[in-house]
Amino acid sequence: MSALTREIVRTKAPIPTWFGVGGRADHYAEPETVEALGALVEEFRGDVRVLGEGANLLVEDAGVGGLVVSLKALRAVRRITGSGSGSGADSGAMIVRAGAGASLPRLIVDTVREGLGGLEGLGGIPATVGGAVRMNAGGAFGEIADAVVAVRGLTRAGRMFERSREETPFAYRGSGLSDSFITEVDFSLTPGDAVALRDRLKHVMAAKKTSQPMAERSAGCVFKNPLVDGARVSAGRLIDSAGAKGMRVGAASVSAVHANFIVVEPGGCAQDVLTLIDEVRALVRDGHGVTLEPEVVVWRRDEEG
Ligand code: EPU
């Protein structure tokens, strides 16, 4: 064990997630610099998982081996003028450079207040910047890839990389970056009317509040919206019409508000959620002939980070 590991790695640490269930991390650290992250990646031979906001994550009850890192120390946000800061920036645009550990909701509120448009459609999505970019978070009002101009990070082998948006294979709920560690993202934001941007953010948040169980313990949508005959259809609508609303395993149940949400009452465990996920999938497969793929990220002990 190196001096760095002895100093900053904790053992058997709880992994806070929005579901509020699941096991611990054998090893856990909060590196304060990209260099420290690199040293940890090397020491754990790439068997490293990044914990973001924990808002889209289910950890199985047995917990996970390897190392879990939080990049909350890498949360600096800087404004950089549009010119000379990478490719893809629109003229007149402002480049905002955010550390992977920065809070996305905070960044949205701050940029909207400054009259910078581009992120307001992501209002109400709990995430760190790195987590949101890695899975290209989004919904009816846009996805985060639309505002990205460059992504920096480390490969699993510990080498630094930088990619422009064009070099990043963004897709529906994917970035092609799940095998690397994002450390910093540049966004291209468009100066606009702060009042109009605030109104749009309010509208986005209000739409979520009426259609989603915001106050309960959940990880947002559990399944991706599947492609049916070439078009994306709402998994929530399919699950609902298959009759799954109110289905329950232990403390986990399918939300009566939005059927693509699983909510967990206190005292539940990750296995309740995993079993319910299987049961919902089976019901939708039998009822609609569609196989749903999880959107929630599941961490399992028998899989490397
Ligand atoms: N619907 C039902 N029953 C339900 C849920 C939805 O009939 O239980 C119907 C709605 O009435 C609506 C349609 O299905 O007509 C679409 O529903 P919604 O507007 O909620 O959109 P969605 O496709 O189900 C997507 C994202 C959400 C995002 C919303 C709004 C995915 C998997 N889901 O949901 O993202 O918040 O759009 O922008 O892409 C998430 O990623 O965690 C998430 C919740």
Q: Whose CA is nearest to atom 12 of ligand 1?
A: 237
Residue 90's pLDDT is what? 55
Nearest to 68, CA basis, from 174, 181, 183: 181
CB-CB contact of 269 with 26 (8 Å): no
Mean pLDDT, the chain, rounded, equals 95
Residues with CB under 6 A from ligand 1: 139-141, 211, 220-221, 224-225, 234-237, 240, 258-260, 295
CA dist., res. 14 & res. 16, Å (int): 6
**Which residues are bridge partners to 162 per DSSP?**
152
Tell me the average pLDDT across 286-303.
Answer: 97
Residue 56's pLDDT is what? 97
CA dist., res. 174 & res. 22, Å (int): 24
Q: Whose CA is nearest to atom 27 of ligand 1?
A: 139
Owner of token pair 């009002």: 141
pLDDT tens, position by position, 82-106: 654 444 445 689 999 999 999 999 9
Tell me the average pLDDT across 128-137.
Answer: 98
For the CA of 222, the closest atom of ligand 1 is 42
Rg (CA), the chain: 20
**Which residues are bridge partners to 184 per DSSP?**
99, 152
For the CA of 236, the closest atom of ligand 1 is 5
Nearest to 244, CA basis, from 280, 219, 292, 212: 280
For the CA of 257, the closest atom of ligand 1 is 8
Q: Whose CA is nearest to atom 22 of ligand 1?
A: 234
Q: Which residues are the active-site residues?
A: 173, 221, 295
